[in-house]
Amino acid sequence: MPVTDQRMTEPVMGPAEALSELFTPAGKHHPYPLYDALWELGPVIPLGPAGMLVLGYDEICTALRDSRFLVTDAAVHRTTGMNEHSSWQCFTKIMMFSNSPDHERMRRFAGWAYAPRQVAERRLLAIRAAERWTSHLATLAGGGDGGDEGGDGGPVDLVEAFATRVPITVTGELLGIPDADRMPLRTAITATTTAFEPVFDRDELLPADAGMDVLVDYIADLVRERRRRPGDDLVSAMVRDRDTAGALSEEELVASLVMFVIAGVQSPSDLIGNTVRLALDHPAEGLRLTTDDDFASAFITEALRIDPPNHVLTRAAATDIDFYGHRVAAGTRALLVLAAANRDPRQFTDPATFDTARKDSRPLSFGLGPHYCLGAAFARMQVEAAVPVLLRRFPRMTLAAPPTYRDQLVTRGFARMDVALGS
Ligand code: HEM
């Protein structure tokens, strides 16, 4: 059967138009019809001599497992001058943007911090954070908080008042970031993630650079403080490990901790937003989420599939590669569109339908292969713990307005989601 027969939404335009639309503000807000249109060109789409878009599930799995496709590390970024920017100076010192052998060295150093036992021990932390911020929402709705919105029982922005606050609280506790310092870091965290978008003009990196400067300064201070007065937190543990084993440079240590803050907050926050939205759109499943712990896992897997927080990963070909019949020249940038692969009709029946009963569903939302997300279990645990707490407390919650998206595709999520709590 031709693959296009199974697409749920009719392509709204031709592939060429879809491609030029994809990284525009409108395209970033509504990318799924564009992926459908691009699918007309097949699972692998050459983009001139040095670019390639990959939409197919199997094709992306192959690329992510193939060591000839490298992450865009410091060497790659030096060739484009991106390394002159403080955002990329920091990002290229972390495992996500390092290749072998640095990648293994860094992953070995920090891997324990997000291992299953650690994650299980943090579940209570996530539940407490969710309870704290649902109480905050109730206060906003009841008018007693003195905040600048919602105090009259009107709509509240769930992104600001809950989705961001839960992961920032959990990660803040973990790293020993004082409560009062956490929310002020939020704007800087989101700003740094704009560095992952394709850059057409280098000035577009300035907000990410400014955000990164704030985070690097903050974490470098925290590291100094914990070196003087160690506590029972991840920063103290990593400082101790570095100072005894010396496996990371001081800059790499700070960069790794900055990454824990960024990755620990932004995508989990986006996943909470997407999950709540899906629960409101599918009330029967939303209700089941509040009563059936096992069901939460299936719900989150399907939320990750149908609307992942990260749409695109980038790889650079280290050498000439024959890839599914396409000749990929060394240096070619491959844009791997995870969000399109998650709707590949060869892999998922009825792919545009939200269906929590799917069996053996393995969306690519946390990547695959050596760079598979270190925090996947930690992120899932937080969302599985927090969203039911919210929905139990506000069973009549409804959207007060269509949510708006940030102007980002690589790290995609709601800028704002106004809800009426109905309490
Ligand atoms: C819903 C939440 C999250 C999503 C969707 C997500 C997604 C991803 C994806 C797609 C990758 C692969 C990158 C690549 O192959 O180029 C990745 C890697 C990574 N993620 Fe996450 N992530 C999430 C939460 C977290 C959390 C909470 C942490 C922990 C602090 C974390 C830490 C990392 C790290 C360290 C890597 C790099 C691993 C490596 O290079 O070996 N992530 N993540």
Largest CA distance in the chain: 65
Nearest residue (CA) to ligand 1, atom 12: 367
Long-range pairs of 203-207 with CB within 8 A, sequence gap ≥ 24: 205/82, 205/85, 205/87, 205/88
The gap from C-alpha 150 to its chain's centroid, in whole angstroms, comes to 28
pLDDT in the model for residue 62: 98
Q: Is 69 in the pocket of ligand 1 (CB under 6 A)?
A: no
pLDDT of residue 108: 95
Dihedral angle computed from the Cα positions of residues 88, 93, 97 and 102, in that order, rounded to the nearest 10 degrees: 160
In one-letter notation, the amino acid at residue 77 is H
Angle at which helix 32-39 crosses helix 15-22, to 10 degrees, equals 140
pLDDT of residue 104: 97
pLDDT tens digits, one per residue of 212-251? 999 999 999 999 999 999 999 999 999 999 999 889 999 9
Distance CA(62)–CA(346), nearest Å, equals 15
| 373 Cβ inside 6 Å of ligand 1 | yes
Ligand 1 geometric centre to CA of 371 (Å): 8
Our answer on whether the CB atom of 114 is closer than 6 Å to any ligand 1 atom is: yes
Quick one: how many helices (H) and strands (E) in the chain? 20, 12
Q: Is 367 in the pocket of ligand 1 (CB under 6 A)?
A: yes
Binding site membership of 264 for ligand 1 (Cβ less than 6 Å) = yes
Cα(14) to centroid(ligand 1), Å = 33
**Element (H or E) spanning 56, and its range?**
none
DSSP for 209-268 reads HHHHHHHHHHHHHHHHHHHHS--SSHHHHHHHHHHHH--S-HHHHHHHHHHHHHHHHHHH
Query: Would you tell me how many other CB atoms lie within 10 Å of the CB of residue 221?
Result: 11
- 363 ligand 1 Cβ < 6 A: no
Q: What's the confidence (pLDDT) of residue 145?
A: 43
Which pLDDT score is estimated for 151? 53
Q: Which residue minimizes the CA distance to atom 31 of ligand 1?
A: 375
Q: Give the DSSP H/E element, type plus range, for residue 345.
A: none
pLDDT of 16 reads: 75
367 CA to centre of ligand 1 in angstroms: 8
366 pocket-lining for ligand 1 (C-beta < 6 Å): yes
Task: Tell me the backbone φ, ψ of residue 416, rounded to 5 degrees.
Answer: -155, 135
Task: Chunk the chain into consecutive blocks of 10 residues (it has 423) and report each block's average pLDDT, rounded to whole numbers.
Answer: 34 71 91 94 90 96 98 85 91 96 96 91 96 94 52 84 98 97 97 93 94 98 97 96 92 98 98 98 96 93 98 97 96 96 97 96 98 97 97 96 96 97 83
Cβ–Cβ under 8 Å, residues 403 and 414 = yes
User: What CATH code is assigned to 42-420?
Assistant: 1.10.630.10
Instruction: Answer whether 312's CB lies under 8 Å from 408's CB.
Output: no
Which residue, chain included where needed, has tokens 């707490």? 389
Q: Are strands 398-399 and 418-420 parallel, antiparallel or unpaired?
A: antiparallel
Q: Check if the beta carbon of residue 328 is closer than 8 Å to that of residue 52.
A: yes
Task: Name the segment(s) of the chain with CATH classification 1.10.630.10.
Answer: 42-420
Judge if the beta carbon of residue 371 lies within 6 A of ligand 1.
Answer: yes
d(CA 114, CA 112): 6
Please tell me the pTM assigned to this model. 0.94
Contact indicator for 377, 114 with CB cutoff of 8 Å: yes
How far apart, in Å, are the Cα atoms of 113 and each of 116, 171, 266? 9, 12, 18
Tell which atom from ligand 1 comes closest to the C-alpha of 97.
40
| Integer Cα distance of 302 and 296 in angstroms | 10
Q: What is the pLDDT of residues 184-215, one digit of tens each?
A: 999 999 999 999 998 888 899 999 999 999 99
Distance CA 291, CA 282 (A): 15
pLDDT value of position 6: 33
In angstroms, the Cα distances linking 325 to 36, 174, 336, 351 are 22, 47, 17, 26
- What's the CA-to-centroid distance between 381 and ligand 1, angstroms? 14
User: Could you say which DSSP state residue 108 is in?
Assistant: H
Q: In this structure, which residue's CA is closest to atom 28 in ligand 1?
A: 375
- Mutation test of ligand 1: which of 91, 108, 275, 373 has the most ligand atoms closer than 8 Å to its C-beta? 373
Rounded distance between C-alpha atoms, residue 324 and residue 236, angstroms:
47
Which ligand 1 atom minimizes the distance to the CA of 380? 1
pLDDT at residue 343, rounded to an integer: 98
Rounded to whole angstroms, the Cα distance separating 159 from 260 reads 20
Which residue's C-alpha comes closest to atom 18 of ligand 1?
373
CA 74 distance to own-chain centroid: 22
CB distance 95 to ligand 1 below 6 Å: yes
